[in-house]
A and B are shown apart, each in its own frame.
Chain A
Amino acid sequence: AQSVTQLDSQVPVFEEAPVELRCNYSSSVSVYLFWYVQYPNQGLQLLLKYLSGSTLVKGINGFEAEFNKSQTSFHLRKPSVHISDTAEYFCAVSEYGQNFVFGPGTRLSVLP
């Protein structure tokens, strides 16, 4: 069964600074990878996903992620964060589109 690790439970960063949120997964088969964002008191919103093809995936709100098969990672990056990016970010993996598993989440706090 697959699993997802997000090593950083909290990431504080100053506004306009770059940020990287780390995600590692384990699976014995090919997987699909996702990043979701959850703003306070709201449901989850899809940021981006990797199904196949180019390993660099661009998403909404200026976020991008790179799939690295050898390191089983799917780190999320943004070159310049805004206060409005303050939220919780979840990495998720599914095997052939089934059995969705979420990581524990990383709380991003953007400081003025």
Chain B
Amino acid sequence: KAGVTQTPRYLIKTRGQQVTLSCSPISGHRSVSWYQQTPGQGLQFLFEYFSETQRNKGNFPGRFSGRQFSNSRSEMNVSTLELGDSALYLCASSLVDGRGETQYFGPGTRLLVL
């Protein structure tokens, strides 16, 4: 079974631009979560989507948004990029089985904002 895939793997943008990151979950997984990882803040939860609905949201400004499609693929958008948005963005998918959601992570998209 293929793992979680994220595209693109690397991205360079300038301040003020916007960016869209894509995540394809493991086949059959319906939950997709997004995380931001930086050396200073560690792993921070952005949001989670389940069946095309945002189920949980972390403490990030409205410039960070996401959506999920009917095939469970998810996109994350960051508008008006700031230097501090430079980070590794990780996507994780889960199979909701009611006993604890093990999350399976993709390789991440490394975003550099200049």
Q: Does B100 contact A (CB under 8 A)?
A: yes
A111 at the interface (CB under 8 A from B): no
Partner of B100 from A45, A49, A105 at Cβ < 8 Å: A49
Q: Which of B's residues lie within 8 Å of A, judged by CB?
A: 4, 33, 35, 42-43, 45, 56, 90, 92, 96, 98-108
- Closest chain-B Cβ to A62's Cβ sits at a distance in Å of 19
Indicate if A99 sits at the interface (CB-CB under 8 A).
yes
Alpha-carbon separation in the docked complex, A45 to B90 (Å): 12
Residues of A within 8 A of B103 (CB): 34, 44, 46, 100
In the complex, which of the residues B98, B104, B108 contacts A46, with contact meaning CB atoms closer than 8 Å? B104
B50 → chain A, closest Cβ, in Å? 10
Distance from A3 Cβ to chain B, minimum over Cβ atoms (Å)? 12
Contacts of B104 in A (CB 8 A): 46
Residues of A within 8 A of B99 (CB): 51-52, 97
| Chain A contact residues: helix, strand, loop or mixed | strand
CB < 8 Å neighbour of B105 from A45, A94, A104, A105:
A45
Assembled-state Cα–Cα distance A100/B4 (Å): 18
B102–A44 CB distance below 8 A: no
- Are the CB atoms of B45 and A97 closer together than 8 Å? no
B102 proximity list for chain A (CB < 8 A): 34, 46, 49
Q: Map CB proximity to B onto A68-100 as digits: 1 under 8 Å, 0 otherwise.
A: 000000000000000000000010001001111
Shortest distance from the beta carbon of B8 to any chain A beta carbon, whole Å: 14
Q: Which residues of chain B are within 8 angstroms of A102 by Cβ–Cβ distance? A: 35, 42-43, 45
Q: How far, in whole Å, are A48 and B99 apart by their CA atoms in the complex?
A: 14
Task: Please name all residues of chain A whose beta carbon is closer than 8 Å to the beta carbon of B45 when the two chains form the complex.
Answer: 99-102
**Residue in B closest to A6 when the chains form the complex, CB atoms:** B42
Q: Smallest CB-CB separation from B43: which chain A residue?
A: A102
Question: In this assembly, does A32 line the interface, its C-beta being within 8 Å of a C-beta of chain B?
Answer: yes
- In the assembled complex, 5 residue pairs joining A and B whose CB atoms fall closer than 8 Å, in A order, are A45-B105, A97-B98, A98-B101, A101-B45, A102-B43
10 closest residue pairs by CB, A with B:
A43-B105, A32-B100, A102-B43, A44-B105, A51-B100, A97-B101, A43-B107, A104-B42, A97-B100, A43-B108
Are A105 and B42 neighbours in the complex by a CB distance under 8 Å? yes
